[in-house]
């Protein structure tokens, strides 16, 4: 039985995050499921295509089979594919954020992303998640939405936003200066 390349890649991403998955423990299996879903959204590539929404959010039977079949590899982050510099850079900014998230936060973030993939906007996704999981506080769901923004705010996007703001500020300054000259 051969491990799928996608699973080797996922184990490499887990290694990058310093995360080991003990398949015998429920909380680690939940963490693996949510991280896989979030990571594939961050990198823009499908690792596991069969995610469906279950009680704790996005769940892949394929991934579940893999972490049971390759228990030791997940527990010891072995047999991982070597990530390229580009693949490492794709997650570079997200790594510190992902490392700090607990199981509940991962569940909220993965669930919100899944709902957005189904065509809901941010507000609709937040409300739908609260409807599906009334035990979650709205404040925690909102925090999850803000974390998603941080995860997806790449350096390239940040620079583009700052350049746009700088240009807009210059335009406002120019208009303001013209208005002041009228009073001189």
Domain ranges of the chain: 5-153, 154-184
Closest residue by Cα to residue 135 from 104, 103, 109: 104
DSSP secondary-structure letter at 47? Answer: S
What pTM did the predictor assign? Answer: 0.81
Residues of the chain falling short of pLDDT 70? 1, 78-79, 154-161, 176-184
Contact 48, 36 (CB under 8 A): yes
Contact 71, 3 (CB under 8 A): no
Phi, psi of 49 (to 5 degrees): -85, -10
What pLDDT does residue 36 have? Answer: 94
What pLDDT does residue 145 have? Answer: 94
Q: Which two tokens stand for residue 34?
A: 């949510």
Contact 100, 31 (CB under 8 A): no
């Amino acid at each position: 039985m051969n491990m799928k390349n996608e699973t080797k890649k996922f184990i490499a991403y887990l290694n990058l995050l310093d995360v080991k998955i003990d398949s015998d423990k429920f909380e680690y299996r939940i963490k693996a499921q949510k991280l896989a879903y979030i990571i594939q959204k961050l990198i823009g590539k499908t690792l596991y295509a069969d995610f469906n929404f279950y009680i704790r959010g996005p769940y892949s039977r394929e991934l579940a089979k893999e972490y049971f079949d390759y228990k030791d590899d997940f527990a010891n982050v072995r047999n991982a594919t070597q990530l390229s510099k580009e693949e490492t850079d794709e997650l570079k900014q997200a790594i510190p954020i992902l490392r700090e998230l607990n199981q509940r936060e991962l569940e909220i973030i993965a669930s919100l992303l899944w709902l957005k993939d189904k065509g809901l906007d941010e507000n609709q996704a937040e409300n739908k998640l609260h409807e599906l999981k009334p035990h979650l506080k709205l404040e925690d769901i909102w925090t999850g939405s803000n974390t998603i923004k941080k995860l997806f705010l790449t350096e390239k996007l940040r620079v583009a936003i700052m350049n746009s703001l700088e240009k807009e500020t210059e335009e406002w300054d120019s208009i303001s200066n013209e208005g002041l000259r009228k009073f001189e």
